[in-house]
Amino acid sequence: MLRLSSRLAKNSWLILSLLLCLFSSACNYHGRLKRTLYKEPAFNDKINASVLVAHDKLPQEPFTFKDYNLTPVNAYKIDVADGAGVATADALGTLFERVEIDSSKLRQNYDYEADLNYSVRAEWLNGTIKGTDSQDFLWVKHYMYPYFHTQVTLTLRNTQTRLPVIQLSAKRQTPLEFSNTAIGFYWFNRLTGSLLFPVLAPGYTQATGKSIRRTLEDDLRACLKEIMRDLEENRLLFAPRYAGAAFPRSDGAYKELLAKTVYVETPDGHGSGFFISPDGYILTNAHVVGRQKEVRYYLYQDLPFEPAAARPPFRYARVVKRNKSRDVALLKAEGEFPYFKLDTDRSHYKTGETVQTIGQPIDQFWTVSEGIISALQNTNGIDDIQTDAAINNGNSGGPLVLRSSGEVVGINSRALKPALGSGMGYAITAFEAARTLQLTFSADGKLLPPAGGK
């Protein structure tokens, strides 16, 4: 009898564990975007070109969402990569003759490659409902409701040069629209005081998960529809006479300046730098190189190239010296290069002088912008030049060139956040960099080897 009761106890615990597992899994939603969510009609006249949607570059992170309305148990995860990729291909198929999903390694078989940047963010907003009862007492009810912020950016690149031909974006901000089934589960749970929660929670989770999936699909469809309308309006960019090559660079007299500037790449990001001696010494920001002992760099002559690709050209420079507090770093590359001269005479830094910034802002390679020196200042013992010449992410470490002499008066380092102001960029003076890194040059322009240290 004792043995039988022991077996029953073990079986009951096993059954209870299975029920808990089933309940836990039922209170979590795992879904994926539909593969056929874009069904808009094709444009009347298609573009005779082929487009690759690279499946190995689609968003890999699933969308996750936590629901606080019914119970903290509910969690939702929706795979978006497959559905978003197919929807993009379906959308592009309404305008281009041939669109396929394949590996980016096969890009040479297509005229254009489509890069998709698709992100969704959930935000809970507070709301209130006010009213009066039959006795004119004021009552206030607080609640929270979720909003989804969707952003889709589509970039079409020339497969030969990897340069972007066009980039279009669309955004949506949509409150989560619950299905009638989910709403019914929610209010029945509230009316019963959550006594029937173990029975209701799985059904509520699955119904809400489908509502989330449909909201994401509707927003993605709307964003792609908006992008395709804009793309069709710019179809001239894909005319046959332009399809063979990207818009050619015409850098003219600026080639000499661009050739002295480098694209600096690390595992954590990228920035700019520039040669200061013919034997390969490069100046940049300390925050560009981070803690790296060696960085990869590209030259203007390497265009076109694909950053972060495991293919030539392979150029590396070692970090010789850095100063984090003043945000300057010195690199050494092997070879002979054209270089900038540093203007370390502080009397040459004057408000109103025309200056140029050169660098790689937001993966736009070797760009030039122009402005003036807005102000000179010394902050915490560090010389700064304020300029209205554009300095954006990626410009860090690039040269601030005095137009009248062609010499470098500063290292572009940072800019004021757009929310706080515009046209306010800052560069560390060439005097400050030379003093910090103890740079001395020989008569032929070569840098005398600095003392070691970081």
pLDDT tens profile 144-160: 678 889 999 999 988 88
Is the Cβ–Cβ distance between 349 and 401 less than 8 Å?
no
Name all domains of the chain by residue range, CATH numbers in brackets: 29-243 (3.40.50), 253-437 (2.40.10.120)
Is the Cβ–Cβ distance between 392 and 425 less than 8 Å?
no
pLDDT band at 208 (very low <50, low <70, confident <90, very high): confident
| 451 pLDDT more than 90 | no
Among the listed residues 267, 397, 250, the one whose alpha carbon sits nearest the alpha carbon of residue 322 = 397
Q: What is the pLDDT of residues 126-142, one digit of tens each?
A: 655 555 555 555 544 55
| 17 pLDDT more than 50 | no
Percentage of the chain lying above the pLDDT 90 cut: 45
pLDDT the model gives residue 310: 78
Lowest mean pLDDT among 82-96, 219-233, 297-311: 297-311
pLDDT the model gives residue 332: 95
Answering whether pTM is above 0.75, one says no
pLDDT the model gives residue 97: 92
pLDDT the model gives residue 179: 63
Q: What is the helix (H) or strand (E) element at residue 87, kind and residue range?
A: helix 81-92
Is the Cβ–Cβ distance between 356 and 389 less than 8 Å?
yes
Cβ partners under 8 Å of residue 331, min gap 6: 264, 273, 281, 282, 283, 284, 289, 295, 297, 317, 318, 319, 320
Q: What is the pLDDT of residues 364-399, one digit of tens each?
A: 899 999 999 999 998 888 899 999 999 988 999 999
pLDDT band at 452 (very low <50, low <70, confident <90, very high): very low
Strand ranges (DSSP E) for 388-449? 399-402, 408-415, 425-429
pLDDT the model gives residue 78: 86
Instruction: Provide mean pLDDT across the span 332-349.
Output: 94
pLDDT the model gives residue 431: 95
Residue 246 CA to residue 240 CA, distance in Å, equals 12
Q: What is the helix (H) or strand (E) element at residue 393, kind and residue range?
A: none
The identity of residue 190, as a single letter, is R
Among the listed residues 313, 331, 311, the one whose alpha carbon sits nearest the alpha carbon of residue 321 = 331
Q: What is the pLDDT of residues 310-323, one digit of tens each?
A: 778 899 999 999 99
